Amino acid sequence: MVGSGPAGAATASALAGAGRRVVVIDPGLTLEPAREAARQRMASTSPPEWRPEDLALTSFSAGDERASNYKQLFGSDVAFRDDGVLPLELSEDVGARPSYASGGLSNVWGSGLLPYTEEDLLGWPLSAADLAAGYRAVLELLPFAGEDDELARRYPLFIPPDGPLLRTRAGEELLGRLRRHATVLGGSGYVFGAPRLAVRVGHPAPANGCVYCGHCLDGCPYGHIYNAAQTVSELNRGGAIEYRPGLHVDRLRETDGGVSIEATSVADGTGVHLQAERAFLAAGAISSTIILQRSGLLPQRCEILDSQALYLPFAWIGRVGQTGREAGHTLAQVTMVLDDPGVAGNPVHLTFYTYSGGVAERARSAHPLISRVLGPALEGLTRRLLVAICFFHSDDSDSVVSLWDASSGSVRLDPVSNPGRAQVIRRFTRALARSLAPLGIVPLAPFAEQAPVGGGYHYGGSAPMHGHAGLGQTDTLGRPAGCGRIHVVDSSCFPSVPGGAITLTAMANAHRIASAAASGEQS
Amino acid sequence: MIAVTGANGYVGGRIIAHLRAGGMETVALVRRPDECSGPSRRFVLGEPLAADTLEGVDTVIHAAWDASVRGDEVAAVNTEGSLPLLDGVADRGGRLLLVSTLSAFPAARSRYGRAKYALEQAVQRRGGLAVRPGLVFGAAAGGLFGSLVNTSSRGSVMPIVGGSERLFVTHDEHLGKLFAELAGAGSARQRTIFAAHERPTTLRSIVELIAAARGGRVRLVPIPPRAVLAALRLAETAGLPVPYRSDSLLSLINPAPLDELAALDRPPLTFPPLSRDLWER
């Protein structure tokens, strides 16, 4: 297993469950000791007892300028910190970045769990039924907060959720307004409901579930927001797998009866060689792509598909409750999908967030002039905002090209523009204005921010699965053309990247491939 | 034997009926024993406990609450007035189970919520356990839900105050079942229990559901809560009859914070959501 992120955790779980001997290797970067100590102190007490200095150290705004463009965990850049092994050059317009942390991108994810529909899987050599067992297995593995609501008509739950993650009053008001206009919105292609989140909701809190402290965006000190490192650590502790952090995998090569793995020690830069019966690649879409390029299994110039994000603020009109002045979680409050072919060829997913401290901070950094003019009034105004993160299908998004230069031994990531994207965004914001403004939820399109390509961290598709895999493709078990023992199991093997939550499907597909490989299935 | 105070009231009555249906030996502790159908003894909040009130009793489910009092009297009668009973049970080594409310929490704004919270603490200091139900509903319901059923069926246009606040519902029969389990098994639980359906609803949704069950559709006209609160207080001061108490409205528009709810223990049974078949039997 290469990688300890969500796809790696699902694979390791499936293989260990099938009685296979599994070794998980990755760079395995972890939180700095001071921050980890602060987190542990916080986890051992309840929020009112947290020390101010621990809160300051672990706040999302505690990181330095260098890390401010990337999501942080407890104020640390650990999720995106360079491990110092591979020279990587990033174009300014690219937000994608590999994660070398133990747990990968699940250190900083929004924890959304929504399966792909049959429509999302158009062009895939798989149907929704092929993924169903994987979805069920993975949801059993994860904490699963959710509700059996109108969303289930389009997105099956697979298993009963553990319970609801309660919304803030503003979140409740938002969903209430949408539900009161469900017929009209449904006629315009909208589907919505309570978000499904990989968050523990057991009781009593904080020991068994969310305590609604509002620090979700900093990181949950109690570990109630799922992190794949938890699964890997539990399997390792229980002896079901062996976890060997500190290794940056460079290349994979099939040999007679096995796979040769070349890696570099993160600690001292020395080369390490491992031999395995079979290899599962789940290093994250950027790292997996680079490993495949370096292994000669993908071309030196390779496109990575992205489901690009748009951050769209909305103004609340009317009574909104005591937004931001109550205990609550700061993850998504409402999930919405707009499926209107007149707007975009593929469904656009929106996750709505109500007030958090980050909104005012983001407004200050994105619009410094307006923020200075508004002064102290900015805080009050941002409390009357909702923010939706909107994810578009990879067909409606820019993409990233990974350029492997064998002579210099370095990689460069560049953006590739999609000429149709601007038009899709214009149609999308107009459609929202037509449908939601009459409900008192007014999109503020001029203040929308487009994330740089890859900046929403929903990417993959560099080694797409195909029924008859050719060069640069993989078969339905994620094996690159000509390979029998190397499986690409993360989102790199997605034929497209639909809008919306990517992690659940990445995990379900990884689980499907690992289960099939463990049982000796060939195709 | 299990004693239930307030057994002539809606919630206490449902609990004792459930205990009796399960064959448990019970006694109702009520202001007017002659109005009770089963074994009963006299008990009045604020009065000293008679010598024989707790004779043979090993568990007391305390549901009595005097809703007729106002102002400082709410705590004086209901919280302070419960202490002789609580002390009596504790002195005999008996077990106390309190019917509290989800409106009870440290920063509650209503007198009802604050007095119930103080009572919870008094119960816990004596080794007892508090159970917090939400809006109790059921067939032929009393309390706030009964009032809603009555008023929601009157017309197609209805004013609503603070209709979008989070509200949890508790089916009365399930509440009875929970108390039967807690009293019967000698449960070792100590942490206050959340006794409601986990997924919240809103007053607006409840009213719409009741109207739909009656085959109608109600048009809700939102009214600013502060104005209604002021009007209710004025009417109460003037001694005029009001459909809802101002203190109930205060509880409704200031629901328990989520961190408070999350910290509560969960019961060994699952409470169902509000549905027509559970209140229209």
Domain CATH number, residue A108:
3.50.50.60
Residues pairing with A306 in the sheet: A459
pLDDT of residue A66: 46
**Residue A341 tokens, joined:** 């072919």
Q: Is residue A204 within 8 angstroms of chain B, CB to CB?
A: yes
Residue of B191, B198, B205 with shortest CB distance to A204: B191
pLDDT of residue B135: 95
Chain B residues with CB under 8 Å of A169 CB are: 164-166
Q: Is residue B194 within 8 angstroms of chain A, CB to CB?
A: yes
pLDDT of residue A68: 52
Interface of A with B in 277-336 (CB under 8 A): 319, 321, 326-329
Into how many domains does chain B fold?
1
Partner-chain contact A204 B164, CB within 8 Å? no
pLDDT of residue B154: 59
ipTM over 0.85: yes
pLDDT of residue A378: 83
pLDDT of residue B153: 59
Residue A66 lies inside a defined structural domain of this protein:
no
Residue A253 sits in which domain range? 6-29+81-518
Query: Which stretches does DSSP call E strand in A51-100?
Result: 88-90
pLDDT of residue A274: 97
Residue of B164, B257, B263 with shortest CB distance to A326: B257
CB pairs under 8 A between A and B: 65
Residue of A47, A164, A329 with shortest CB distance to B199: A164
Q: Is residue A76 within 8 angstroms of chain B, CB to CB?
A: no
Residue A355 lies inside a defined structural domain of this protein:
yes
Q: Is residue B70 within 8 angstroms of chain A, CB to CB?
A: no
User: Residues B154-210: pLDDT tens digits?
Assistant: 567 777 877 778 899 999 999 999 999 998 866 677 899 999 999 999 888 898 888
| pLDDT reading at A170 higher than 90 | no
CA distances to A83, B98, B145, B195, B274 from B177, in Å: 58, 15, 20, 11, 17
Confidence of residue B37 (pLDDT cuts 50, 70, 90): confident
Q: A196-205, A221-230, A235-244, A377-386: lowest mean pLDDT where? A: A377-386
Residue of B164, B260, B262 with shortest CB distance to A209: B262
**Residue B32 tokens, joined:** 């007017």
User: Residues B177-187: pLDDT tens digits?
Assistant: 999 999 886 66
Chain B residues with CB under 8 Å of A319 CB are: 164, 222
User: Residues A350-386: pLDDT tens digits?
Assistant: 999 988 777 777 778 778 888 888 888 888 888 888 9
Partner-chain contact A204 B199, CB within 8 Å? no
Average pLDDT over residues A334-356: 95
Cβ count within 10 A of residue A436: 24
Higher pLDDT among residues A8 and B209, named by residue: A8
Cα A396 from Cα A403, distance rounded (Å): 22
> For position B73, which CATH number holds?
3.40.50.720
User: Residues B78-119: pLDDT tens digits?
Assistant: 999 999 999 999 999 999 999 999 999 999 999 999 999 999
Chain B residues with CB under 8 Å of A321 CB are: 164-165
What is the rounded average pLDDT for all residues in chain A? 94
User: Torsion-angle region of residue A425: left (phi > 0), alpha (psi -120 to 50) or beta?
Assistant: alpha
Residue B132 sits in which domain range? 2-279
Chain B residues with CB under 8 Å of A173 CB are: 164
Chain B residues with CB under 8 Å of A205 CB are: 259, 262-263
Q: How far is A214 from chain B (nearest CA, A)?
A: 10
Cα A106 from Cα A503, distance rounded (Å): 9
Q: A5-9, B22-26, B235-239: lowest mean pLDDT where? A: B235-239
Partner-chain contact B166 A166, CB within 8 Å? yes
Into how many domains does chain A fold?
1
Average pLDDT over residues B150-154: 68
Cα A99 from Cα A27, distance rounded (Å): 9
User: Residues A67-95: pLDDT tens digits?
Assistant: 456 788 999 999 999 999 999 999 999 99
pLDDT of residue A355: 82
Chain A residues with CB under 8 Å of B204 CB are: 176
Interface of B with A in 136-175 (CB under 8 A): 164-166
Dihedral of the alpha carbons of A108, A112, A117, A120, in degrees to the nearest 10: -30
The helix/strand/coil state of B189 is coil
Q: Is residue A48 within 8 angstroms of chain B, CB to CB?
A: no
pLDDT of residue B177: 95
- Which residue pairs, CB below 8 angstroms and at least 24 apart, start in B113-116? B113/B251, B113/B254, B114/B75, B115/B74, B115/B75, B115/B78, B115/B79, B116/B78
Residue pair B256/B105 in contact by the 8 Å Cβ criterion: yes
pLDDT of residue A67: 47
Q: How far is A157 from chain B (nearest CA, A)?
A: 16
Chain A residues with CB under 8 Å of B199 CB are: 147, 164
Average pLDDT over residues B4-12: 95
Cα B116 from Cα B100, distance rounded (Å): 6
Select from B189, B203, B258 the residue whose CB has the most chain A CBs within 10 Å, as the one to mutate to test that interface: B258
pLDDT of residue A437: 97
Partner-chain contact B204 A176, CB within 8 Å? yes
Pairing of strands B135-137, B169-171: parallel
Residue of A46, A147, A166 with shortest CB distance to B258: A166
Residue A319 lies inside a defined structural domain of this protein:
yes
What is the rounded average pLDDT for all residues in chain B? 91
User: Residues A395-426: pLDDT tens digits?
Assistant: 999 999 999 999 999 999 999 999 999 999 99
Residue A55 lies inside a defined structural domain of this protein:
no
pLDDT of residue A60: 75
| pLDDT reading at A250 higher than 70 | yes
Average pLDDT over residues A51-73: 77
Cα A54 from Cα A369, distance rounded (Å): 32
Residues pairing with A241 in the sheet: A22
Residue identified by tokens 């939601």 is: A436
pLDDT of residue B226: 85
Residue of A147, A173, A327 with shortest CB distance to B259: A327
Residue of B166, B205, B259 with shortest CB distance to A213: B259
Q: How far is A162 from chain B (nearest CA, A)?
A: 11
Residue A154 lies inside a defined structural domain of this protein:
yes
Nearest to B58 by CA among B100, B26, B80, B20: B26
